[in-house]
Amino acid sequence: MSVLVGKKAPSFSATAVVNGEDLVEDFSLDQYVGKNHVLFFFYPKDFTFVCPTELHAFQSKLDEFEARGVKVVACSTDTEESHWGWLQMSKADGGIQGITYPIVADTSKTISANYGVLAGDYDVDEEGNLIATGPMIAYRGLFLIDKEGTVQHQIVNNFPLGRSVNEALRMVDALLHFEEKGEVCPANWEKGQDAMKDTHEGVADYLASH
């Protein structure tokens, strides 16, 4: 599993479904560089059980992310046709109808591999055939990317473990606070609370007041 924090987010170009129905070829996160922060997250598979809870949860907070200038983008190794079909299914039937942020189709599995979240790998047998050594789907990876295209935060969960969208939003607030104020954010910090200056004196003052 690779650690991308502090590094440039791997670039890619792939088909995505946008606004719940539009197929956009050559979709890339590069379009946001210099303009927006990006919350880019992977989920394992369409038409499953935990995944729609996460996708709907991000949609429910989408206005809050966008108010902070953050673009939310999802990705799995399913095809764009699979994404599109799932988007036409109602929430009551287990679908993700109503999701408007882009969902990228990583059919080549190279995006997941480059972000270090692909579960499994290819091996070659004695006859030269490619054999998958795992399910070849993405773990629940999440990457917060700044306007310069640098990864500032990442988490990777195993398949059964759904993520906290509120925690993702908290990390956005922490990054924005640091970028604006130059102050670092202590444990359990939330928007509106005191932060610390990145010095021994600043940390001492913070601890003394708490």
pLDDT tens figures, 45-83? 999 999 999 999 999 999 999 999 999 999 999 999 999
Q: Is 75 annotated in the active site?
A: no
Rounded Cα gap, residues 156 and 141, in angstroms: 4
Q: What contacts 24+ positions apart, CB below 8 Å, involve 189-197?
A: none
SS3 173: helix
pLDDT single digits (tens) 174-187: 999 999 999 998 89
Identify the active-site residue in 14, 51, 171, 175: 51
Q: Which residues pair with 182 in a beta bridge?
A: none
Rounded Cα gap, residues 32 and 119, in angstroms: 28
Tokens 């499994």 belong to which residue? Answer: 120
Q: Please name the amino acid found at residue 26.
A: D
Rounded Cα gap, residues 72 and 145, in angstroms: 10
**Domain-wise residue ranges, the chain:** 14-162, 164-210
Name which CATH class applies to 14-162. Answer: alpha beta
pTM beyond 0.75: the answer is yes
